[in-house]
A = this chain, B = another copy of it.
């Protein structure tokens, strides 16, 4: 055994780790965007949050805030599966080039999806959503094929 597959010495795993870390922070970053809009617009979700501003109100119909929340939920639906499937894919010992491009494609699609969601751009948002989705499915199919039911 020349080295462990699950190690930062394995270039495929090191690539997965970097993209997984970035995708995690991207998803968490949506909380900061929501907080920014809440604080600047004085619109909150709980009665006790109105202590953050003298003009603060509880409302769930601010278009900017709700847009970020829809985008954040879309991340919750897509990024956690990528994080796990991307790791299992490392264990299938894929070609390093193919693997790294899967990770790059996924993160790029999610960043472009985010830009299109915030900018209200269709059909681009749908295109980047499905491209990122297909990237995860491509890895998942290979994981299931090499696993054992």
Contacts and interface: CB of A to CB of B under 8 A. Distances in A.
A42 interface: no
A113 B125 CA distance: 31
Interface in A1-36: 1, 4-8, 11, 13-22, 24-25, 27-28, 30-31
A17 B149 contact: no
Nearest to A119: B48
A105 interface: no
Contacts of A70: 45-46
A41 interface: no
Given A5-B4, A31-B77, A136-B28, A49 B149 contact: no
Q: Most chain-B CB neighbours within 10 Å: which of A11, A117, A122, A137?
A: A122
Interface of A: 1, 4-8, 11, 13-22, 24-25, 27-28, 30-31, 45-49, 51-52, 67, 70, 72, 76-81, 83-85, 87-88, 91-92, 117, 120-123, 125-126, 133, 136-137, 140-141, 143-144, 146-149
14 contacts: A5-B7, A6-B91, A13-B91, A14-B147, A18-B149, A20-B84, A20-B88, A21-B144, A24-B136, A27-B81, A28-B77, A28-B137, A48-B121, A72-B77
